[in-house]
């Protein structure tokens, strides 16, 4: 309920996603995923309404800040939503466990257990991804979803300058065809010219691997410079 209106507001608002993330407590990557078709969870829906209700209420001439209207849902609808949430969490948990090669000892039986395990897997992944000195990125359908500090330092861009952009925006135009061919593979090992923040290109060796199933696929990539005299930032 009202998810379409909130998604429309996210697309039209002048408020930066970074500010929305900090104020609502919803991660920036989750907001980017919504804009690219991922489902919006009811819990997060309530967070946005609590914080940005006055801004969102203009959409569709519906006053969604009236919380009573959100409660006007029959029991069957609520049960259906909970089942959908469990299915989505199970899928996301399976992806995280594939990535970190961690298998739960037994299958969780409740939504709370699934949420706890998903949170634990996410915390492990975030620690590895953001603490390593290896330049790394996470992309879905060729769009950057996460970049770590090591990659930002290597290329000279800020995180905000890279997130949500196509991988091809950072690849030399003459290397686009080769890059597109590689992006169709589940395992990639390729050398490409990558543009740094100063506009200069540097030969980079890129290793990437796809994870996920059922069309919900993402790739993790690691970059390393091939040049001894790499263009300074």
Identify the residue whose tokens are 């309530």: 46
Q: For residues 144 and 163, is the Cβ–Cβ distance under 8 A? A: yes
User: Rounded CA gap, 202 and 193, in Å?
Assistant: 5
* Cα Rg, the chain, nearest whole Å: 20
Pair type for strands 216-225 and 136-140:
antiparallel
User: Rounded CA gap, 22 and 162, in Å?
Assistant: 19
- Return the closest-CA partner of residue 190 out of 174, 201, 179: 179
pLDDT in tens, the chain (233 residues): 467 777 787 788 878 888 888 888 888 888 888 888 777 776 677 777 777 776 665 444 444 444 444 444 444 544 555 556 566 666 766 666 666 555 555 555 566 666 666 666 677 777 778 888 889 998 988 899 989 999 999 999 999 999 999 999 999 999 999 999 998 888 999 999 999 999 999 999 999 988 877 677 888 899 988 877 665 55
- Return the closest-CA partner of residue 208 out of 109, 135, 150: 135
* pTM beyond cutoff 0.75: no
């Amino acid at each position: 309920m009202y998810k379409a209106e909130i998604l429309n507001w996210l697309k039209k608002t002048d408020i930066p996603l970074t500010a929305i993330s900090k104020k609502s407590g919803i991660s920036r990557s989750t907001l980017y995923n919504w804009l690219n078709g991922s489902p919006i969870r009811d819990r997060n829906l309530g967070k946005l309404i609590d914080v940005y209700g006055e801004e969102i209420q203009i959409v569709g001439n519906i006053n969604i800040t009236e919380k009573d209207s959100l409660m006007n849902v029959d029991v069957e609808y609520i049960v259906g939503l909970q089942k959908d949430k469990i299915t989505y969490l199970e899928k996301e948990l399976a992806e995280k466990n594939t990535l970190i090669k961690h298998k739960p000892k037994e299958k969780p039986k409740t939504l709370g257990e699934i949420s706890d395990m998903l949170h634990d897997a996410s915390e492990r992944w975030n620690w590895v991804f953001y603490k390593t000195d290896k330049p790394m990125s996470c992309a879905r359908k060729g769009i950057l979803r996460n970049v770590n500090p090591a990659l930002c330092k290597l290329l000279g861009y800020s995180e905000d300058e890279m997130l949500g952009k196509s991988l091809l925006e950072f690849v030399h135009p003459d290397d686009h065809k080769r890059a597109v061919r590689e992006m169709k593979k589940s395992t990639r090992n390729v050398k490409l010219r990558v543009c740094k923040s100063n506009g200069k290109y540097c030969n980079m060796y890129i290793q990437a691997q796809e994870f996920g199933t059922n069309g919900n696929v993402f790739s993790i990539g690691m970059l390393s410079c091939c040049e001894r005299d790499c263009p300074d930032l």
